Amino acid sequence: MSSVQDVSFHIIGNDLQRDKAVKHQRWKWNLCRNRFILTELHRLSLGQPGAPKSEEGRFRSLTRRRTRLQR
């Protein structure tokens, strides 16, 4: 009986650890994405050469690809 309880507790512990790791990974992804968004917005606001429309499209496709990887 005690061995069964130990095993179930062990499984629960592993699940918690995995959830923590997944959350941390998402946090890192979000951090990278937010930093990327900020730098892109900064570059666009500075008005560097390059059509903003095409930049926006490229940027949107990048974020879409990233979110698909995340799931």
Kindly tell me if the per-residue pLDDT of 2 is higher than 80: no
Residues in the chain: 71
Angle (deg, nearest 10), helices 2-46 and 52-70: 180
**pTM of this structure:** 0.34
Judge whether 71 and 25 are in contact, CB under 8 Å.
Answer: no
In this structure, what token pair is assigned to residue 31? 């951090």
Q: What pLDDT digit, counting tens, does each position of 5-57 carry?
A: 455 555 666 677 777 878 888 888 888 888 888 888 877 777 655 545 555 55
- The residue with tokens 């059509």 is 51
